[in-house]
Amino acid sequence: MKVDVLLGLQWGDEGKGKIVDVLTPNYNLIARFQGGPNAGHTLEFDGLKHVLHTIPSGIFRSNTLNVIGNGVVIDPVVLCKEIASISKIGVDVPKCLVISKKAHLILPTHRLLDAASEAAKGKEKIGSTLKGIGPTYMDKTGRNGIRVGDILQPEFQEKYNALVEKHKQLLLFYEFSYQQLERMEFEWFESLEILKKIPFVDSDFYLNNALTQNKSILAEGAQGSLLDIDFGTYPFVTSSTTTCAGACTGLGIAPNKIGKVIGIFKAYCTRVGSGPFPTELNDEIGELIRKTGNEYGSTTGRLRRCGWLDLPALKYAIMISGVTELVMMKADVLSQFETIKVCTAYKIDGKTSAEFPYDYDLARAQPVYTELKGWYKDLTETSHENELPEALLNYISFIENEVNVPVRIVSVGPNRKQTIIRSI
Ligand code: GDP
Ligand code: IMO
Ligand code: MG
């Protein structure tokens, strides 16, 4: 068996949670491979709405095991809140969730350092979710981090104290108050006790053994390709590998064990936080997309910036991850427009190019648009591909021809049921 990977192709919030939940019945295991509580993955079914931050989106389907991989960074406080809210609706979490011993822990001081670093950047701030992601990955690569497997070791408290001392020095450098640390630490250590009820596993062996036993695995990405630490719009990115390679390093899966790479994108674009966004619409069209698409952050509630679909960016993300099939989300949100624009190239200093450029150039890039006919029809009740309007099928064909990858699923609403699997 191979591991299929599902990942976002834009700046996050493409609808990964919804589609992982839809696809879960086809898999035995769902494994998150990177990111942490900066993610907010929304699932809607049976009149319920859930936002998951650390727990994989297969958690609500029975007979599925969910793995938090080594590439994920975990804030015990956030994870315990998630466990509590899911347990309330009857999910036996310790039975269907395991955590990698090699996943790194987000300490309360990582969160303070995130806030201190952003405050020090002033106008240049990244727009971080302030969940401690950057500082935790910095400690991981700096070889100072603390991992889930350390929790059960006798020297855990000592390790914790030593790292917090370092962090306090840094906070002093930033002149950032850590008055609230004691309260944060109390909550953090309390959460660790709850976390110990979830099995800590050698997730690399766990997943590879599952493959040997012919179990099917879907790797769930967080964030999006344009937020990748190497290939995203640096420095306005997150601190992990959000592209397909992240599934290998974040789970311990060899590249030759990767099967399908399912890339997910919205029929338009959104972005939360700072950074270049060539097709951004700072007008009433952008506002209309935001309102209809309910484009407000699932984790922070912040406004999402909205704009037309950007094909050079999409092609680039497809290239980096070797995407084999596509999922197009939120087609219903564009139903209100008579015509829809798609960016097919950029004009930079008078030159036209269809390549995704280096960041300084991206900031100056002017989108070159093709205008397509809108479908102007409510899609939210659509349940079969035969019912899709011709103009929408043309929109999809146009994208497929440009990027050379088929669109296998079209999403027409937030609910699990509002999903059309195409037969192509
Ligand atoms: P994720 O981070 O990629 O899982 O995406 P988020 O959950 O942060 O954001 C996607 C938002 O769009 C959520 O509020 C979903 O409920 C919603 N959503 C997902 N698919 C669709 C769709 O096809 N149409 C509409 N209107 N909303 C959708
Ligand atoms: P999901 O998984 C959208 C953005 C932040 C900020 C930048 C860095 O729900 O798609 P960080 O907290 O990682 O240091 O923030 O990345 N960002 C996201 N944007 N969806 C996400 O996750 C995001 N996770 C981080 O807004 O611009
Ligand atoms: Mg999200």
Q: What is the pLDDT of residues 369-421, one digit of tens each?
A: 999 999 999 999 999 999 999 999 999 999 999 999 999 999 999 999 999 99
Q: Which two tokens stand for residue 71?
A: 């590439």
Provide the greatest CA pair distance for the chain: 65
In the structure, which protein residues have their CB atom closer than 6 angstroms to any atom of ligand 2?
8, 11-13, 35, 38-41, 126-129, 131, 133-134, 222-224, 227, 238, 272-273, 298
Task: Give the other-Cβ count within 10 Å of 355's Cβ.
Answer: 13
The string of pLDDT tens digits covering residues 52-111 is 999 999 999 999 999 999 999 999 999 999 999 999 999 999 999 999 999 999 999 999
Note if 13 is an active site residue: yes
Question: Is the four-CA dihedral 282, 287, 290, 292 of positive or negative sign?
Answer: negative
pLDDT at position 360 is: 84
Contacts of 86 (CB under 8 A, 6+ apart): 50, 55, 59, 60, 93
* C-alpha closest to that of 163 among 183, 185, 180, 179: 185
The string of pLDDT tens digits covering residues 309-367 is 999 999 999 999 999 999 999 999 999 999 999 999 999 999 999 999 998 889 999 99
- Residue that the structure tokens 């990977």 belong to: 5
What is the mean predicted confidence (pLDDT) over 117-131? 95
- Say how far apart CA 140 and CA 103 lie, in whole Å: 10
What is the mean predicted confidence (pLDDT) over 21-34? 98
Among all ligands shown, which has an atom nearest to the Cα of 265? 1
Would you say 54 and 82 are in contact if contact means Cβ atoms under 8 Å apart?
yes
Among all ligands shown, which has an atom nearest to the Cα of 271? 2
How deeply is 398 buried, as exposed, middle or buried, from its count of CB atoms within 10 A (0-12, 13-18, 19+)? middle
pLDDT at position 232 is: 97
What is the mean predicted confidence (pLDDT) over 270-290? 96
0.95 surpassed by pTM = yes
148 pLDDT band, cuts 50/70/90, is very high
pLDDT at position 359 is: 83
